[in-house]
Structure 1
Amino acid sequence: MWYTWIEAQRNLVRTARALGWPALAGYDGASQLLQPLPPVPGFDIAAVTIGGNPVPVTEEIVDSTPFCALRRFSRERDALPSARRADPAILLCAPLAGHHAVMLRDMVETLLEDGDVYLTDWTDARDVPLAEGDFGLDDCVLAVERFMHKIGGERMHVVAVCQACVPALAALALVANSGAVPAASLALMGGPIDTRIHPSSLARFAQSHSVDWFCRTLIDSVPQPYAGAGRRVYPGFYQQIAMFTSFPQHKWALEAGYWSCRLAGNEAGIARSLRDLGEYAAVLDMDEHYFLDTIRVIFQEQRLARGTWRIGGRLVRPRALSSLALCTVEGGRDNVTGAGQTHAAHALCGAIPESFRQQLTIAGCDHYGLFSGERWRDAIHPALVRFWRSLPARVAPNSATNPTERQPSTEVCDRPG
């Protein structure tokens, strides 16, 4: 019911704008909610700098399901230094958590310095026709597993962010359990691997309300004229409200940056700020089954952590992972994922040698800082690259480090900014 009403109000605003009437004013939550959503910005990464020289980048969709596209960002091989042409591929698993994958643009651009990047770009459920069926958490895992097989394991680094950590770890475990090489390494960043540990306010809320309550309170039907009309979803406008109430300082900082550039006449800064605001506003609907599965499986029953998760009859066994390296990253000020929830993956993946593990905690870093801004670029990414370069030669061909000399490490990084 709310979905239909909000769409009607947004259509009124669109009509008013077309007629030249004054736009709806105000920065309160209701005014912002009723503004028509801007188009989802593209990634628009034309080139990256490697070895001091610009390297053109090509973007294409190399595989897809009705609910997800696998995007590949390829560096022009002939423009790369010869030593960099054999860089491993990187699969960046974006979270399906109410936001388009363009939120990770900063990560994509940075990781292109290290290899071609594949990205899981989840489809807005409102645009998926009912004929395509439902989409649950198990389907999410199977999609990620499919993409992993598409890319190939031995020379692939997997990086998963936030909610994507659970399906990424589960998919790799299924691949390993089948006897295939899952990946060279896995980096889990701010993900709810075990929500029993230091539950955040988000986790406590999910654990204190029944699945039926979430179904009755937060699920709505997609209205016409969207292709997915009739599909039951967790609407993106709820995510829009949640982001503003949970992280008001983030939106204020983005708007302050815009006005600062506007007053200074900084055209490049204005364009960059508008892009940042567009990425922040790029919310999406999640299929009802996926949203409710996430509440049940991850936050209430902790099936991955308890070893009780079965997907299509296959038990998810993280202990099947023995040939890859594992790095976990947490933010010291993360109020979305509780302290220790991501590092808990090390206990689940007990077959991985200690010398192929790393725990990285970024002091003063909030949830957004794990994948964007200075802390991502200046602290997390360099540490991740050091980790990759410390792995065996078959994983990182340019590594000069003897893996037998590497010791397990736990880092606490404290960078300004």
Structure 2
Amino acid sequence: MPNSWLAYGRWLDATLFGARRSPAFEIGTIECAGIACPVQETIIDSVPFCDLRRFAAKKHATQVSRSSTRTAILLCAPLAGHHAVMLREAVETLLHDGDVYVTDWQDARDVPPDAGPLSLDDYVMTLERFVQHVQREHDIVHMLAICQAAPAALAAAALLADAGKCRLASITLMGGPVDARLNPTALERFASNHDIAWFRDFTIDTVPQPYAGATRRVYPGHLQRAALFAAHPERQSAIGVRYWLSAMNLSAEPFANTRRELDEYAAVLDMPEAYFLDIIRVVFQDALPARGLWHVDSRKVRPETLRETPLCTIEGDRDDITGEGQTHAAHALCAADRTPQWRLTIDDCNHYDLFTGPRWRDAIHPALAEFWQGVNADKKQDGRHQHGH
């Protein structure tokens, strides 16, 4: 029975929404001090399930200081249903703070089965690899992890610190289930109240021909699209209303922007079975990160190794995906007593507001910029002391 209705759902999704594809980021320019600066996008590292995309704004010679350090933001996108292009607005904004690197996770239906399963361990080790790549290219690297990427990013940083390979200037976690036991939301309670066998039987499908990932077992994108609409019908409706109003008003630029926003929100992907079931078990059911019992590739995850790394956690007071306190719990895990305690709870802010829209632009990014500027200033001062100035 499950296989038949999952197959029907895939057919219905294709019929209603057409061929599923991820829209491009297409960030042409950003404005810096009144000057349009072109943005270059390149893929600088890849593994079968993920590309590391680099976005860099080419500033005018008058805007570049000889003494300026090379700063980067590693934006760890969640593998939770949407393509990373969902974070396009965040990338565009963050380009004012430095080069931006984005983990762009692939649709599992397009990844050949011989590439392996992509477990949660593989996800964490991919982040470890990308952190080291970005550290080789920049003096200052700030990690920013959103939603389900938060516990995995924290684990990657901790494992690298344990091995003496972590030079992250700071870590920021936004709306992520670091301790999913605290104030669980309806979605989190659902994940906890159904055993792994239930998810395997009723939510896992096999990728059909002619996709490159044919025979791979996945949590299909069409189920995620339905779940997203059920959980947040007002978001898709609001985007749709803005789209049609722009069309009726013959407003070319707003129409293009809302069409892109609609495409980005609709850009869902198939998740590998191993990763999806690992997340449910490790994060939501057994709470291994929060209990200090998580091992990745036989290595124990010890967040306390990050006690000297400045940590910022951000939550929305109306977040119905990640419960209150779940992200802020990272401070206790990292034993960050000696570092600035940045715990921000944003008023009138739901989960998506954390990285898009006015709450992101007017409240969250300015606070992040202040946090990073303080960290950067401290690092520069430490550098001067080390060199005897």
What is the identity, as a one-letter code, of the residue corresponding to 1:65?
Answer: V
Give the match for residue 250 of structure 1. 235
- The answer on 1:288 being equivalent to 2:270 is no
Residue 374 of structure 2: which of 390, 394, 400 is its match?
390
CA distance in 1, matches of 2:236, 2:248: 18
SS of 2:30's equivalent in the other structure is strand
CA distance in 1, matches of 2:19, 2:204: 20
Aligned runs of 1:2-401 on 2, under 5 Å?
A: 2-9=5-12, 13=15, 34-79=16-61, 81-83=63-65, 85-152=68-135, 155-351=140-336, 353-354=338-339, 356-391=340-375, 393=377, 395=379
Deviation at 1:250, TM superposition (A): 0.2
Cα–Cα, structure 1 residues 161 and 80, in superposed 2: closer, same or farther, change >3 Å? farther
CA distance in 2, matches of 1:39, 1:140: 22
C-alpha contact 2:37 2:57 (8 A) present in aligned 1: yes
Cα–Cα, structure 1 residues 161 and 110, in superposed 2: closer, same or farther, change >3 Å? same
CA distance in 2, matches of 1:244, 1:391: 39
In the TM superposition, what whole-angstrom CA distance separates every residue of 1:243-302 from its partner, at most 9, and x where no partner exists?
111000000100110111112111111111110000010000000000000000000111
C-alpha contact 1:191 1:341 (8 A) present in aligned 2: yes
Unaligned 5+ segments in structure 1 are 14-33, 398-417
In the TM superposition, what whole-angstrom CA distance separates every residue of 1:289-317 from its partner, at most 9, and x where no partner exists?
00000000000111111001111111100
Deviation at 1:382, TM superposition (A): 0.1
What is the identity, as a one-letter code, of the residue corresponding to 2:310?
Answer: A
C-alpha contact 1:87 1:114 (8 A) present in aligned 2: no
SS of 2:86's equivalent in the other structure is helix
C-alpha contact 1:3 1:223 (8 A) present in aligned 2: no
Provide the identity percentage.
51
CA distance in 2, matches of 1:217, 1:80: 59
C-alpha contact 2:317 2:349 (8 A) present in aligned 1: yes
Deviation at 1:74, TM superposition (A): 1.2
What is the identity, as a one-letter code, of the residue corresponding to 2:359?
Answer: R
Deviation at 1:86, TM superposition (A): 2.6
What is the identity, as a one-letter code, of the residue corresponding to 2:28?
Answer: A
CA distance in 2, matches of 1:233, 1:120: 20
In the TM superposition, what whole-angstrom CA distance separates every residue of 1:299-357 from its partner, at most 9, and x where no partner exists?
01111110011111111000001332100000010000000000000000104514x22
What is the identity, as a one-letter code, of the residue corresponding to 1:333?
Answer: R
CA distance in 1, matches of 2:149, 2:276: 13
SS of 2:324's equivalent in the other structure is coil
CA distance in 1, matches of 2:124, 2:182: 23
SS of 1:113's equivalent in the other structure is coil
Cα–Cα, structure 1 residues 10 and 185, in superposed 2: closer, same or farther, change >3 Å? closer
Cα–Cα, structure 1 residues 238 and 79, in superposed 2: closer, same or farther, change >3 Å? farther
Could you state the TM-score of these two structures normalised by the residue count of structure 1?
A: 0.87
CA distance in 1, matches of 2:61, 2:264: 29
